[in-house]
Amino acid sequence: MKQAWVLRPQFMKDVGIYHDPHSGLKESIRLAQSIDLEVVRAEIIKLRKRRSSTLFGKGIIEELSHDLAKSSVELVIVDYALTPIQQRNLEIAWFCKVIDRAGLILEIFGKRARTHEGRLQVELAALTYQRSRLVRAWTHLERQRGGFGFLGGPGESQIEADRRQIDRRVGQIRKRLVRVVRTRELQRNARSRVPFPIVALVGYTNAGKSSLFNRLTDSGVHVEDQLFATLDPTMRRIVLPSGQSAILSDTVGFIANIPTDLISAFRATLEEVMVANIIIHV
């Protein structure tokens, strides 16, 4: 099992979604553990200001570098949106792989997506993220089975070739997702001819949506006590106590501070919520 650190910056003037940094740190630890990382150190680092080149100040970087040199840690997770330059400079300073919150969530998505549509949506988000990370003195694209290579090691730098490779693949995925959207529209049109209301279950990740879905439908949707256990939507017909039938939809969970690119990549999935007659917040 790969060992990792989780670092959560706390800025004095920070007005983010989390008012309690300890809750945010606990969530980040669970995210890391959900892809079988062993978190051997987790801490909140208080900062007065953001350094444009490294996020952290020189003293903190040197202190952490000293501790890393004495450990066998291969990965540092910074629970923040790092710029490509910050991420690269931290990797150079610490001699190990560094990923931010978006990279961690994408790695989880890469391991969780099961359907063809889900994999396409995750790959689109991952490629968009990777393209922004192509900065000078960085590495050639790599991908690990079941993930997107954010936890992998370096290769040789060939930025322009990588950009062209990514752009070609993004174009292919977008065309496929257009067909997915059209197929979903046809399916929705077919359902609209049957007078069944659609009920969508929404809520924070790991809140219990899939467990409730299984209880109401007697289904076997994958349930596990971990964040983002469900990525692909599932729909089943149920009969209400009144005798009326309805379509129940299980959806991907929400999480705080999720990058915009990840949300837009799941447009086809989120459209199922938008057309629901009833939304139940679990």
CATH number of 1-95: 3.40.50.11060
Q: Per-residue confidence at 184, pLDDT binned at 50, 70, 90?
A: confident
Render pLDDT for 209-226 as a digit per residue (tens, 0 to 9): 888 888 888 865 554 545
Q: Are strands 97-100 and 245-250 parallel, antiparallel or unpaired?
A: unpaired
Instruction: Establish whether domains 1-95 and 195-281 are of one fold.
Output: yes
In whole angstroms, what is the distance from residue 181 CA to residue 186 CA?
9
H-helix or E-strand spanning residue 53: none
Q: Which of 27-31, 53-57, 145-149, 191-195 has the lowest mean pLDDT?
A: 145-149
Q: Which of 88-97, 144-153, 230-239, 263-272 has the lowest mean pLDDT?
A: 144-153
pTM: 0.77
Q: Per-residue confidence at 150, pLDDT binned at 50, 70, 90?
A: low
Residue boundaries of the structural domains of the chain:
1-95, 195-281
pLDDT of residue 70: 94
Q: Per-residue confidence at 65, pLDDT binned at 50, 70, 90?
A: very high
> Exposure of 148 by Cβ count < 10 A (0-12 exposed, 13-18 middle, 19+ buried)?
buried
CATH architecture of 195-281: 3-Layer(aba) Sandwich (3.40)
pLDDT of residue 139: 46
Residues 91-108, mean pLDDT to the nearest whole number:
91
In whole angstroms, what is the distance from residue 77 CA to residue 81 CA?
11
Residues 166-194, mean pLDDT to the nearest whole number:
84
Q: How crowded is the C-beta side of 55, counted as CA atoms within 13 Å?
A: 24
